[in-house]
Chain A
Amino acid sequence: MTATTSRPVGKRLTLGSFLGSGFLWLYALIAIAPLVLMVLNSFRTMPEMAKSPLGLPLEPSLTSYQKAWITADFQTYFFNSIFVTVASVLLSTAVSLLAAYAFARTKSRIFTLLEGTFLSGLMLPVYLAILPLFFLLDSLGMVSNLWSLILVYAALGIPFSTFVLTGFFRQLPIELDEAAKLDGAGSFTTFLRVHLPLVRPAIATVIVFRFVPVWNDFFYPLILIRDQKAYTLPVGITRFFGEYQTDWATLFAGLTLATIPLVVLFLLATKQIVSGLTAGMSK
């Protein structure tokens, strides 16, 4: 009895809780094992893998990374992806901030209508309109140009970004605007100097949340990018998988390279990701 008094009632170690934590660990293994194998095998060589598919990289080799990065041109794909993702997320966030501020600080039917139109983009499968988009960009001579991806992704980010940011701007008290106005600030100065610093957490959420789908997107570059020099990572990977079919170590290295920025982002912004994924539940 004395031994258990320190534990709150109902938190005793029962068979049920033992099985429960066993299940948590087992699923953790199922979720992480393929990713761990991907990283481990990227440091091994093909003969090692053929001998034992599940071994540890006892003599870690970086040859496969060198091959993927230089010979298979991952450096080009990687920097294209970085450029497209960063530029489109920044552009999308900037225009969404301006629009969200207007939605939160006006009351007129036209703005309600516009806000609703933007919001509908959250549920519409807009990727199905790829043909007219392709012809439009083609007529502008922008097919295979990274800016076509940047502009499309920036537009695709508007529904989610304005939705999150408008909610934040609405929470800021109107007295802030009045005080700024009394100090002689115009509406743009008020937005820039007073509101923007206050919605910084929301900006972080929006940036993190748009980064992931843009970085991972495969559909748009598959159709809009026809020149190998302008491939982003996902399209680059499909080509690479055709060419290096039998060179597993290099394939694993390529997959790992495409995943690293996301893991770095996740570790830097776990809080934003966990709270952002569950944001819809706080209503």
Chain B
Amino acid sequence: MPVTKTRRSRHTGITLSRRAGMVFVLPALILFVIFILYPLVTALSYSLFDWTGIVRGDFSVLDNYVTIFTQLPYKDAIPNAFVHNILLFVGAMVFQNTIGLGLAVLLHRVRRFKRFFQTVYTLPYLVSPLVVGYLWSLMLSPLFGPVNAILKGVGLDALAQPWLGNPTTAIWVVVFVTAWQWVGFPVLLYGAALGGIPDEIDEAASLDGASSWQRFRDITGPLLLPAIGTVSVLTFIGAMEAFAIPYALGGSAGNPAGATDVLSLLFYRTAFESGSSNAIGTSSAIATLLFLFIFGVALLMTWLMRRAERRLY
């Protein structure tokens, strides 16, 4: 017996029996099932019932889904919040792939202060989104806010305004603050990807007479694609899940007048603040759709990314 065991383990990397393995996995499995798997499956089922307070009523098939698309306030609030989530995604993507990418490329070339820049760019990413939101709400305050003070100081009085009180500027503040907080991550990730490209390729192209823009477009750019793909998927998930920054900047109601509302806030309000007797049913329908949308699009993006990579290389 011992002989066969040794031979088997050498070939397949087994040292634990199935039973011993189960004992090792068990504590994690118990936590995972109770606090993640069970709530997920149950949340889905909640959306298929009619609720009165916390009492589950009849099986209502898709009634809750019909409600959120045909009845007020949901039928207006959902598209409104959805557009804001998309703006967050697009805004962060533009910010990260212009300013973020530019910073990473520049940082790749410098030697001095590299660590310093990396540290400074990453700091906002580590601070709590709620703290970031509140901090910017003070920065942009119409009364003593430093941003308006700076604008007035340089003679741009016309631009100074109640940034968060004005419905047209408020959502852009949320977009900017989110992008500001996130930019450190792509800078680091793109930096690591750039570090992985051998200098010889660039030098060879340079000797062949390629300009620096041609070298970026035809060599560096395509080699950065996997990193850009990873950043895109994570940015999408983050933008769709946005909660703390909009909460800090516009409260749970997405003030002013829903101008900063996002889907997670809408879900939270419906579930915990609406006072509607079927709050559990409707909020679970919102949660289920958002869940499927985030997971579905994230999978689709990953798949498209893999396919694009395979075509390129």
Contact = CB atoms under 8 A, between A and B. Distances in A.
A177 B15 contact: yes
Q: Secondary structure of the B side of the interface?
A: helix
A255 interface: yes
Nearest to B124: A31
Interface in A115-158: 117-118, 121, 123-133, 135-136, 151-152, 154-156, 158
B73 to A, nearest CB: 20
B158 interface: no
A110 B24 CA distance: 13
A13 to B, nearest CB: 12
Contact of B15 (A108, A158, A181): A181
B274 to A, nearest CB: 13
B1 interface: no
Interface string B173-205: 000000010011100110111001000000000
Interface in B1-53: 6, 9-10, 12-16, 18, 20-22, 24-25, 27-29, 31-32, 34-40, 42-43, 46
A125 B263 CA distance: 13
B89 interface: no
A280 B121 CA distance: 19
A123 B299 CA distance: 9
Contacts of A178: 6, 9-10, 15
A128 B15 contact: no
A50 B117 contact: no
B126 interface: yes
B241 A125 contact: yes
B131 interface: yes
A24 B230 CA distance: 24
Interface in A15-63: 17, 20-21, 23-24, 27-28, 30-32, 34-35, 37-38, 49-50, 52-54
Interface residues of B, number: 101
B38 A23 contact: no
B295 interface: yes
A32 B119 CA distance: 10
Contacts of B110: 20-21, 24
A54 B16 contact: no
B145 interface: yes
Contacts, number: 268
B254 to A, nearest CB: 15
Interface in A161-190: 162, 174, 177-178, 181, 187, 190
B72 interface: no
Contact of B127 (A52, A155, A262): A262
Contacts of A181: 15
Contacts of B287: 128-129, 131
B66 interface: no
A124 B79 CA distance: 22
Contact of B14 (A34, A106, A152, A282): A106
Contact of A131 (B117, B189, B283): B283
Interface stretch (B57-65, B136-144, B214-222): B136-144
Contacts of A123: 237, 295, 298-299
Chain A's interface size range is 35 or more
A24 B193 contact: no
A215 to B, nearest CB: 7
Interface of B: 6, 9-10, 12-16, 18, 20-22, 24-25, 27-29, 31-32, 34-40, 42-43, 46, 54, 99, 102-103, 106-107, 109-110, 113, 115-124, 126-131, 134-136, 138-139, 144-146, 149-150, 153, 180, 183-185, 188-189, 191-193, 196, 226-227, 230, 237, 240-241, 243-244, 247-248, 264, 267-268, 271-272, 280, 283-284, 287-288, 290-291, 294-295, 298-299
Interface of A: 17, 20-21, 23-24, 27-28, 30-32, 34-35, 37-38, 49-50, 52-54, 94-96, 98-99, 101-108, 110-111, 114, 117-118, 121, 123-133, 135-136, 151-152, 154-156, 158, 162, 174, 177-178, 181, 187, 190-191, 212, 215-216, 218-219, 222-223, 233-234, 237-238, 241, 248, 251-252, 255, 258-259, 262-263, 266, 270, 273-274, 277-278, 280-282
22 contacts: A20-B109, A34-B135, A53-B149, A95-B27, A98-B28, A102-B22, A108-B21, A110-B18, A125-B237, A136-B39, A155-B34, A177-B15, A187-B16, A187-B20, A234-B128, A238-B248, A248-B144, A266-B119, A274-B188, A277-B122, A278-B189, A282-B192
Given A31-B184, A233-B128, 5 more contacts: A24-B113, A101-B24, A154-B31, A259-B128, A281-B227
